[in-house]
Amino acid sequence: MKRALSLILVTGILAVWSPQAGRAEGRRIGFFINLGFMTKENVSPNWLTLGAEIAIALGSRWSLNPELALWGSSFSFNNYYIVPGAMVNYRIGRVSLGAGIVKRFWVSRFSEDDSSEKIAPKIQVGYQYMNSRIALIVIPIPDGDYLSFGLAFGTGF
């Protein structure tokens, strides 16, 4: 649990620090709130997701997106994953293609310690219209030996 809390703290510090550095260099920085679901190789959702990400422009087409999400097993979020990650996205008009890494940390009110999994790759295809975005996500989970598919709806600021 201590590792998960320190990871959240570091992500928060980066979230506060990054926009200040970006403004000093005149770069555009965006912020997204995402809501969606992830599945486990079938159609029915296994986890509801709620997350935030910062889009740091690296040029006219490239961006670096650190992110932090919660994957809850039900609406009560008694058991959930904390999922930090980072993506590099390439934009072609309104479509973005992204690749990055994520790491899941299991948190449960029924267990005393947390368990983390190996770092997993993340592939994402998104479509953005004005301040809204929809993204299709694929994450091969190495510990479970399965693919996790998802859909996320985001709104930006």
Q: Where are the domains of the chain?
A: 2-156
What DSSP string describes 87-113?
EEEEEETTEEEEEEEE--EEEETT-SS
Rounded distance between C-alpha atoms, residue 114 and residue 111, angstroms: 7
In terms of phi and psi (left: phi > 0; alpha: psi -120 to 50; beta: otherwise), the region of 121 is: beta
Contact 111, 118 (CB under 8 A): no
Q: Which residue is listed with tokens 């919660």? A: 70
Mean pLDDT of 67-79: 81
Chain centroid to CA 154: how far? 11
Residue 2's Cβ-side half-sphere holds a number of Cα atoms within 13 Å equal to 0
Rounded distance between C-alpha atoms, residue 96 and residue 85, angstroms: 17
35 pLDDT above the threshold of 90:
yes
Q: What is the pLDDT of residue 145?
A: 75
Q: Taking the model in full, what pTM does it have?
A: 0.75
Q: What is the pLDDT of residue 44?
A: 63
CATH for the stretch 2-156? 2.40.160.20
81 pLDDT above the threshold of 90:
no
Mean pLDDT of 60-84: 86
pLDDT digits (tens, 9 = 90+) for 86-143: 999 999 999 999 999 999 888 876 666 656 778 999 999 999 988 899 999 999 988 7
Rounded distance between C-alpha atoms, residue 43 and residue 10, angstroms: 34
